[in-house]
């Protein structure tokens, strides 16, 4: 699993720090950090909570299409 | 709904580490039983022996939990934990002064070493929290 740069950029656009997002979602800052680094696979419940807080869709945040994979692998 | 103290990742990490710690307890109990039955060695008083058999897997669990950011829940603070463990270390350290009668008797650890071991364990946990805090602030 690669880095979740989309989530990082959406969070930055909302002007939220990792700690602020973690507080709103109800998890630790380290968990948000690990999700963004691609070191932790969140459950669907947590994905939904993050998507709601960031006011975006699950697809936008977590869907990895082939082009995205190629970009990451390249 | 009440907010859980640990998030899902922390809960998962803690479950996994608890399982490892349980396996370590089983292993230590087995080794201890083999030593005692085959070599007839009493290496410690039963109280000290129990404390050591608890402290070793406890150290494993707590060390890994702290460094995996899973020990401190989403509501707890690291400072509160450090103070709590230092207070516990102080209580056990002070209580050892009143009961201490040397480290060994008949080649085994005495009962009076038990509070010292417990005190050392709590100092170790507080120290780990401090190290973790220093690492987190430099990240």
Is B78 touching A (CB cutoff 8 A)? Answer: no
Residue with tokens 């071991």: B117
Is A16 touching B (CB cutoff 8 A)? Answer: no
pLDDT in tens, B54-92: 999 999 999 999 999 999 887 778 888 899 999 999 999
pLDDT value of residue A63: 85
**A-chain residues within 8 Å CB-CB of B69?**
28, 30-31
E strand or H helix at A70: helix A66-73
pLDDT (average), residues B100-119: 82
Chain A, residues 20-49, CB within 8 A of chain B, namely: 22, 26-28, 30-31, 34, 40, 42-43, 45-46
pLDDT value of residue B105: 73
C-alpha B102/C-alpha B110 separation (Å) is 7
pLDDT band (50, 70, 90) for residue A73: very low
C-alpha B14/C-alpha A28 separation (Å) is 14
DSSP B39-101: H----B-HHHHHHHHHHHHHHHHHHHHHHTT-SS-SS--HHHHHHHHHHHHHHHHHHHHHH--
Domain ranges of chain A: 5-73
Cα–Cα–Cα angle for B16, A1, B73, rounded to 5 degrees: 40
Domain ranges of chain B: 8-138
pLDDT value of residue A66: 61
CATH architecture of the domain with range A5-73 = Orthogonal Bundle (1.10)
Cβ of B8 and A34 within 8 Å? Answer: no
**B-chain residues within 8 Å CB-CB of A46?**
7-8
> Measured between CB atoms, which of A26, A40, A45 is closest to B9?
A40
> Measured between CB atoms, which of B8, B69, B74 is closest to A43?
B8
C-alpha A16/C-alpha A33 separation (Å) is 13
pLDDT band (50, 70, 90) for residue B25: very high
Residue B20 above 60 pLDDT?
yes
pLDDT band (50, 70, 90) for residue B128: very high
pLDDT value of residue A25: 93
3-state secondary structure string across A1-65: CCCCHHHHHHHHHCCCCHHHHHHHHCCCHHHHHHHHHCCCCCCHHHHHHHHHHCCCCHHHHHCCC
Residue B2 above 70 pLDDT?
no
Residue B38 above 50 pLDDT?
yes
pLDDT band (50, 70, 90) for residue A72: very low
C-alpha B81/C-alpha A7 separation (Å) is 32
Query: Which of these, B49, B53, B85, lies nearest to B66 by C-alpha position?
Result: B85
Query: Which of these, A68, A23, A12, A19, lies nearest to A49 by C-alpha position?
Result: A23
* Mean pLDDT, rounded, of chain B: 88
Interface TM-score (ipTM) > 0.90: no
* Mean pLDDT, rounded, of chain A: 85
């Amino acid at each position: 699993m690669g880095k979740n740069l989309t989530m990082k950029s959406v969070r930055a656009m909302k002007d939220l720090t990792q700690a602020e997002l973690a507080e709103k979602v109800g998890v630790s800052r380290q968990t948000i950090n690990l999700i963004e680094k691609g070191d932790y696979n969140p459950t669907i419940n947590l994905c939904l909570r993050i998507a709601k807080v960031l006011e975006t869709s699950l697809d936008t945040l977590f869907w990895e299409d082939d082009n995205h994979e190629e970009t990451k692998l390249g | 709904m009440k907010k859980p103290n640990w998030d899902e990742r922390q809960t998962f990490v803690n479950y996994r580490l608890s399982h490892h710690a349980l396996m370590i307890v089983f292993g230590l109990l087995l080794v201890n039983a083999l030593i005692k039955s085959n070599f007839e060695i009493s290496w410690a008083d039963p109280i000290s022996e129990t404390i050591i058999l608890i402290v070793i897997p406890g150290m494993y669990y707590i060390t890994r939990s702290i460094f995996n950011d899973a020990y401190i829940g989403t509501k707890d603070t690291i400072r509160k934990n450090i103070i709590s463990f230092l207070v516990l270390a102080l209580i056990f350290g002070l209580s050892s002064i009143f009961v201490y009668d040397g480290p060994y008797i008949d080649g085994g650890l005495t009962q009076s070493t038990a509070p010292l071991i417990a005190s050392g364990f709590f100092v170790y946990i507080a120290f780990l929290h401090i190290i973790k805090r220093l690492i987190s602030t430099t990240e």
